[in-house]
Amino acid sequence: MASNTTGNGFIAWNPDLEDHSKGKPVMVMAILFTVLIIISTVSRLLMKLKKNGGLAIADYFIFIALVFNITANILEIQSVKLGFGRHLQFLERPQVLDLKRLSQYNILFANISLWAVKISICFFILLFIKNIHDRTRYIIYTLIGITTTASFLQGVLWGTQARPLQKLWNPDIPGDVSSVKTLVNSIIAFTAINSLTDLFYALWPVYLIGGLQLSLKKRLIVMALTGSGLIVFASSIVRAAFDNDFYNPDFTWALDKVYLCTIIERNLAEVIADLPASYAIIRGVSKKTKTLISRTTRRTGQDSKAYDAPRPHSSNIVKVSVPRNVYRKSSKDEYQYYDDEVPLQTYSPPINVITMRTSIDVAAHAAD
């Protein structure tokens, strides 16, 4: 191409650029987190239904987060297929329009999913501190109000960027569009608000557990589970550091780090919200596994003791049959031990029945 503009009309042509993609990490991360959130959230909901026969308010909000996170992950995967991660100049115009539309949808879905996760955590905390901490309960209700208000305002600003809204991704229709600076400033402002709430969710156990009589082990477990929210806080801060990439007109190439941080932030927030329930599931499975192994080991030990009795050295051993109706039915149809003896010790004979293990040396009797 010798022209100064690309065929899609969005960016000037740069002959020095090579056509390769940075979108694979975005796709891989979206697929991995989709599998992870389905496993963690579905197992949580199934466990609640099995244990309690119903779901709490926190569970309904985490289900909302699951729906929007899966939807956003699918859109991220579709974006990579359309060409996200490649330089904009190598994409056809329909691809660019679709990518701009999907990127705007993802901003909205990320806002909703993060809001749902935080409200779910709030109701989980309320259930956890029921009839214990009145002051903390009032703080949680205040936090619900702040989180909901901030998310609502962010949604309003997103929806009023352009009039009509389709103007955001389709420049061919008449209308007005706000500057990119407005979008970036709003993202930074709401990131700051969300980061403060993330800090509270991560650090509230330090205050809450301080007044409870718990062992050191239990304190560390609870603090580790909820303190994992610091990872979400860190990912949101890192994402904010790349928000200036929105000013780059080659957005399909420049925004890969923003996409990765967003995927990690919203999906990891849901996984961490599921951690208390997931920990209970893992602990239950671990206990059942240990019990099963213990029982198997005990039975194996009993069987080995039952068949460790000394065997007569004579090969002329007569097998003594025992009436089957005297003993309880064995689960084994064939003996896998010695053919010249009946493993009486594996049976539990009825009460008042005398049993005797007998071996006859035929050669000795013949000599007599």
pLDDT digit string (tens) for 333-365? 443 433 444 444 455 566 666 666 665 555 555
In sign, the C-alpha dihedral spanning 71, 74, 80, 81 is negative
Tell me if 298 is assigned to some domain: no
Residues 260 and 325 occupy one common structural domain = no
What residue numbers bound the domain in which 331 lies? Answer: 313-367
Model confidence at 87, in pLDDT bands (50, 70, 90)? Answer: very high
Q: What is the pLDDT of residues 167-221, one digit of tens each?
A: 888 888 999 988 888 888 888 888 888 888 888 777 776 666 666 666 776 667 6
Residues 278/48, Cβ–Cβ less than 8 Å: no
H/E stretch holding 98 reads helix 93-128
The reported pLDDT for the residue numbered 337 is 39
Tell me if 235 is assigned to some domain: yes
Prediction pTM value: 0.73
In sign, the C-alpha dihedral spanning 169, 255, 107, 30 is positive
Residues 262 and 339 occupy one common structural domain = no
Q: What is the pLDDT of residues 270-307, one digit of tens each?
A: 998 888 766 666 777 777 788 888 777 777 766 565 55
Tell me if 293 is assigned to some domain: no
Listed residues 225, 248, 273: the one ending a domain: 273
Tell me if 189 is assigned to some domain: yes
Domains of the chain: total: 2
Q: Which residue has the higher pLDDT, 26 or 340?
A: 26
In sign, the C-alpha dihedral spanning 157, 163, 167, 171 is negative
Residue 53 sits in a domain whose CATH number is: 1.20.1070
